[in-house]
Structure formats: structure tokens, C-alpha cells
A and B are shown apart, each in its own frame.
Chain A
Amino acid sequence: MTLIELARETRHVEGDMSSLAIKGNGLRSKLLWTAVIALGAVSFGIVALSRGESVNAAWLVIASVCIYFIAYRFYALFIAEKVLGVDPERQTPAYQHNDGLDYVPTNRYVLFGHHFAAIAGAGPLVGPVLAAQMGYLPGTLWILAGVVFAGAVQDLTVLFLSTRRDGRSLGDMVRSEMGPVAGGIALVGVLLIMVILLAVLALVVVKALVGSPWGTFTVFCTIPIAMLMGVYARFIRIGRIAEMSVIGIVLLLAALIYGRTVSENPAIATWFDLRGETLALIIIGYGFVASVLPVWLLLAPRDYLSTFLKVGTMALLAVGIILVQPELKMPAVTRFIDGTGPVWSGSLFPFLFITIACGSVSGFHSLIASGTTPKMIENENQLRLIGYGAMLTESFVAIMAMIGATVIEPGIYFAINSPGALIGTTAAQAAQVITGWGFTVTPDMLSQIAQDVGEKTLLSRTGGAPTLAVGMAHILSGMFGGRVLMGLWYHFAILFEALFILTTVDAGTRVARFMIQDMVGSVVPSFRKTESWGNNLVGSALAVGAWGYFLYQGVIDPMGGINTLWPLFGISNQMLAGIALILCTVVLFKMKRQRYAWVTIVPTFWLLVCTLTAGWQKIFSAEPTIGFVAHARVFGDAAAAGKILAPAKTMAEMNRVIVNDYVDATLSALFVMVVLAMIIYGVIAIRRALGDPTITAIEIGLPATIPGAKLA
């Protein structure tokens, strides 16, 4: 400790905002922070304690923002300065390896934007929408507590570790700090999460586009538009990103507006009025073709378009919520906290903590935080802004999604999100069932909202995207356009989600292909050559086949697929967060900073408890709606008795349902085993670190102030 204190004394801190914040304990600053805390407490009280009457969304926004500021000012500063011991004197990889390309010292605000754009995606938009079935309060509490104590801590710590190791990837760091076997297990975990992530995201798109000619036409149009942009920026006006993006956005808006004409013309509309199975096969085929095309043609231009649209729309939604200040119609807590909800099965613990993954804590971010960002950090004292701050911003996106889902009438929310097997297929049936649950809704309200947004029906449009689109249309049309433009806003929201999900599907398939090639390549070395066309095709087919299998299974699932797949995705994502936090804990022990290790141990413990309980229940629960084995048994018994249960129509389909259940159970078991193995390796590494009196963390680069670090 004395060395570290000494080091702190000798620092030059001119212009360093975080140090100024510590030292600037003037009266004004104290008053300011007292006011922020008071405002946060009051708004939070209004949000949490209101019963019966609806609450204005503005209170939720104010409460969250106050919590973010307090967490950033106090807890994040504590983690950066005390727990990690960031060293402003230490040269970052951006300076050490400066090449003007990958390693470039970059202004912190510019880098913040880069990092935020890299971590933000569909996850924080979908999870809270699904969690809203329990009311706005349980999900909101987990989003806020999760981000402050788990998600942002993980992002900041991994970013710190990677910055001290030349921007190495998570897998590399696990290998060097915890041994090659642990590294291998972590990579298997990453591959599994990729497969499930791609399947569930593709399913969100399929669910949003089923029977929607307007949406399908618009989303299909993005492919030729992106190709046109790709050719423009690569051959006609090389590298003119702004020109190309303007062309793309104008064409996209034209496709969006023209989509209504298409949907109103029955002859053309039938071409885009597709069933789920057809859409799934189209997306699978598309994923394969897209992943073998050159990147500049489709992936890169669409990535540009989706990035700008994503950031722009999120900003627009924030402005919309602040200006419109909608009322939250959903009760704070609904009766479904007992686990009988229609949107997803399972009780509040552990499944709420699985359902909202991104937005509170996302393992995927540990891959991004150990990617390109650490290679551009100017100074270690900026890690807090970029690692912790960007994650807080992402969490705010999740809060906006929660607002989007809860400003809709609860009855309409449940009509959109409940599977057809529960609420039937007509507005009259659905209204009756949902009113029976205690959420009053009339068939007229259901037809009216579908007509307002320009769809035939909104019943059972599970997956979160349509709900969020209705919520966004509600908020944004309150700002401009009113009811007349609601259909346009709805399809704009669908387009915006589909666009960046398809980009993820494309890029993720490439990553999965590389990982498969790398793993198979360790047995068959010739398979490793990523430039070979044969390997490329086989690898892509394997990657697409893996997620395509789960996608198709989800589409034909009578419970809507999201019901089965989203918890699996949540478990895998939290599992990866668990792995990342175990690594962080191990390294803190190896750095001899174990007195602060509770900062990562507490969230690790919580995530492991949640993932292991959820994984266990998914396999062994006696409730067929939760446990895969119990579900398989119900179908197995029926099959043995010669009966056929819906959705299966033939005995062969019955058998397929049973096989799918066992595949899902095996996958859950794999997740549980990966987690258990990582815990064992973590404990071994910590014991070894405690037994060694020296610092054993393997950092790269010269430590400016802390002697004794072993150099590798």
C-alpha cells in the first residue's frame, strides 16, 4: 500500500479531471452532490412507491440519471483509483505501439462514442421489454443495480486489464492468467454464446416480419441499398463515408415510405407476406451468402448505416421521452412475479436476472472491451469514462426500452407478447383471455392499434421488437405527426432494429466461422487457412447451420420460440460475464489487491448463483414450461400412448420436439459445466496467487510506479 500511496503522491495531475474531483471537495461540490442525491432519492421514491395511479416516465429518467451520476462520481472513481490503481504516468499501448492505424492515442470523448457504438445493440432493447411482464419496477431495479455493481464494473475492469496487456483479447488474457485449459474452456463458452446470440437475434427479426409486407419489403430493400453504397464507397468515391451514408439513409427512408404502398397493393404485398418458416430459411440462406461475400459489398456499408441509425434513433428516443413525458401505464409490479407470466416462464429469481442481460450486465461487452478500444486509450485515467461511462449509457438505453414497453396499455402489451397457444388467434379471444388476467382490453383496442401502425394484426408478435416499435411510435408520434405518422414510426423502429440485428448476424457468422475453423484446425491443420475458398464455405456452412438450427426450432415452437431461446441466451450471456469477472477477480489477487477484490467477487457470486440456478431449472425443473427434460417427458409419454400434442401434427414432429428438448437441455448442461470449470480454475489461480508473496499478474509494458510486477 505504501508504494501505491507514494506513487499517487508523485503523480502529475494537471488537467486530470478524476483527480480534481477527489481534491475539489469544496463546499459547492458538496452542495451539488447532496442535491443530486436528494433529487435521485425523491424521484426514486415516486417511482418505487406509487401504487394504483400511473407514474410519469420523467421520474424514472431522473431517478436513473441521478443514480448514474452518483455511481460514476463515487463508485467508479473508487474502483479506478483504489481498486485498480490506474496510473496516469504509465504509457498506454496507444503510445507504445502507435502506428496511426490500430494503435492511436484518441481523444477520450471520441473514443467514448466509438466504444458506446460498439457495445450498444439489440440486447438492451429486447430484454427490458420482455421483463416488463412483471411490471416496470423489478426490471428497472435490476437494470440500475446490475449496471452499477456488475455490468459497468466488468466493462471497466476488463478494459483496464486489456489496456495493461497491449489490448489482448479476453481469451488470451484468461489463457495467460489462468492457464491454457481455462482459456480453452472460455473460448468454447464464447462460441456457444455466439451461436445462441445469433439464433435469438435472427428470431427477433423473423417474429417482427411475419405477415408484415411493409416491414419485410423495407428490410429486404436494405440489401440492394447497402450494396449500392458499398460499390459507391469502394469504387466511385472511395472512402466518402458521409456522402455514402446520406445516399443510403435517403434511399432507406424512401423504401420505408414506399413500403406502405407495397403493403396496400395486394398483388405485390403477397410477395412480402411471408410465414415464419420461410423467413427463417431466407435469413439462414442470407447469413451464409453474406458471410462469404467481400466485406466492402454488404457488411461494411450496412454496418455504417446501422451504426448511425442506431445512435441517432437512441438519441431521438431520449429526446422524445424527455419532451413527451409519457405516463407509464403498466403497474409497478404485476401478478406475474410468481412465475406464471405468458411472455417467458419462470419466477422472478433467477429468471428476471437472466432476461435482462445487456443493459445491466453483458458478458459480450468483455469481448468488446478487450478489442479495439484498449488500443486507443490516451491515458489510464480515462478508463473510467470509457469503460464505466459507456456502460451507464447503455443501461440508459435499457431504461428507455423499459419505458417504451410500459407506456403502452398493459392489455395491448400482453396481446403482442403472449404466444398464440395461450391467447388464441383472434382479437376477441385474445381480449377475453387477457382481460381475464386482470388487464382490461377490448377487441376494438387491439384492432385499432394494429390499424394505426399499418399491420393486419399485432397478436403474438413476440420477440420484443414489435412492442418496442409500438412504444416508440407512441412516444415519437407524440412529438411529431400524431396518429397519422404512427405507422411510419412503427416501421421505422422495426427497420432500425432489423438493420443492426442483420449486421450482427453477418459479422457474428464470420466470427463463429473463424472460431470453428480455429478449433477444428487444431485437429485438422489445413482447415485453419481462412483465405481458402473451400474452408470458407465449409466453415460458413457450419456456423450458419449451428445458429440456423436453433432459429428454425424457435420459429416452429408453439410458445413462440422467444420463450425457450431468450432464457438460453440470457444464461449464456451472464455466463460469459461470470467468466470475465472471475478473470478480473483472479487478476486482482495476482496484483496483490485482494483487499478490494470484493468489488468483483460480489457481482461474480451473484451472476454465478443466477446462471447456475437458471441452468439447473432449465434442465431439471418438473414444470414442463421451464424444464426441458420435463417437457420432453410430456411429449415422450404422449408419443408412447400414440397421442399427438400441439404444435406437432405428425409423429415425426413429436419426435423432433423431443430431440430439440434434449438438445436444449444438453446446451444448458454445457453452460453449467463451463461455469463450474471456470470457478474451479479461478479458485486454483487465487490460491496460487495467495501463496506467492510477489505480484504475479502478467502485465505488458513498463509499470511506471509499481515495482515488482513480473514482465512477460
Chain B
Amino acid sequence: MPDIMTMKEWTIRTARLMVGIPDYQTYVEHRRQTHPDAPIMSYEEFFVERQNARYAVGKGRFRGCC
């Protein structure tokens, strides 16, 4: 990932990651490079998957702080 991002890009990415949604484009590029034959989730599927994962009750996933 380039180290220099525009302010707008930075704000969007940070705001999205703050609520647990990583960058979709990064995901797509990663799948294309490493698993070119495997299917890639659409953005909608990706969002639903990430939303469920963020709140999945499990070890090491502490949400909300004091």
C-alpha cells in the first residue's frame, strides 16, 4: 500500500476500518494475486462477511472499551 495517501482517501479508509470494514480494493487485489482461480466476494458479500466477523462472539474479539 502506498505510504502517501490523499487526505480524502485516508479519512475514508480510516473511518471504515474504525468500524471494522477493511479496504475492499486491497482484498480484491490480494485474491487476484494469490488465488487467481478462486471466486472473489462481491462488495456486498464482503461487507456482510466482515460485519458478521467483527461481532462474532469469540476469543480475542473484544469490542467496546472503557
Contacts and interface: CB of A to CB of B under 8 A. Distances in A.
A104 B54 contact: no
Interface stretch (A83-91, A93-101, A128-136, A691-699): A93-101
B66 A238 contact: no
Nearest to A194: B62
Secondary structure of the B side of the interface?
helix
Contact of A299 (B10, B14, B55): B55
Interface size class of A (residues with CB under 8 A): 35 or more
A606 to B, nearest CB: 20
A562 to B, nearest CB: 14
Contacts of A101: 22, 27, 49-50, 53
Contacts of A233: 47
A104 B27 CA distance: 8
A105 B1 contact: yes
A295 B19 contact: no
Contacts of B20: 372
Interface stretch (A253-261, A357-365, A441-449, A626-634): A357-365
Nearest to A112: B14
Contacts of B50: 101
A368 B65 contact: yes
A113 B28 CA distance: 23
Contact of A307 (B3, B19, B62): B19
A107 B5 contact: yes
B66 A357 contact: yes
A473 interface: no
B18 A300 contact: no
B47 A513 contact: no
A367 interface: yes
Interface in A220-261: 233-234, 238-239, 241-242
B21 A241 contact: yes
Interface string B45-64: 01111111111011111111
Given A197-B66, A371-B62, A295 B55 contact: yes
A508 B64 CA distance: 7
A201 interface: yes
B51 A296 contact: yes
B55 to A, nearest CB: 4
A535 to B, nearest CB: 11
A362 B62 CA distance: 14
Contacts of A197: 66
A308 B20 CA distance: 12
Nearest to B2: A107
Interface in A359-389: 362, 364-365, 367-368, 370-372, 376, 378
B16 A241 contact: yes
A120 B19 contact: no
A511 B66 contact: no
B63 A511 contact: yes
A311 B15 CA distance: 10
B62 A367 contact: yes
B7 to A, nearest CB: 11
Contacts of A123: 65-66
B66 A110 contact: no
A121 B65 contact: yes
A603 B46 CA distance: 42
B27 to A, nearest CB: 4
Contact of B19 (A107, A241, A510, A513): A241
Given A365-B65, A508-B64, 14 more contacts: A100-B29, A101-B53, A106-B17, A107-B3, A168-B60, A197-B66, A233-B47, A238-B43, A239-B44, A295-B52, A371-B60, A372-B20, A500-B64, A569-B66
24 contacts: A100-B22, A104-B23, A104-B26, A107-B1, A107-B5, A109-B10, A118-B18, A121-B64, A123-B65, A299-B55, A300-B19, A300-B55, A307-B18, A307-B19, A368-B65, A372-B61, A503-B64, A504-B63, A506-B64, A510-B55, A510-B57, A510-B63, A513-B57, A514-B57
Interface of A: 15, 98-102, 104-107, 109-111, 113-114, 117-123, 167-169, 171-172, 197, 201, 233-234, 238-239, 241-242, 295-296, 299-300, 303-304, 307-308, 311, 357-358, 362, 364-365, 367-368, 370-372, 376, 378, 500, 503-508, 510-511, 513-514, 530, 569, 573
Interface of B: 1, 3, 5, 10, 12-23, 26-31, 34, 43-44, 46-55, 57-66
Q: Closest 5 CB pairs between A and B?
A: A239-B47, A504-B64, A123-B66, A169-B60, A100-B27
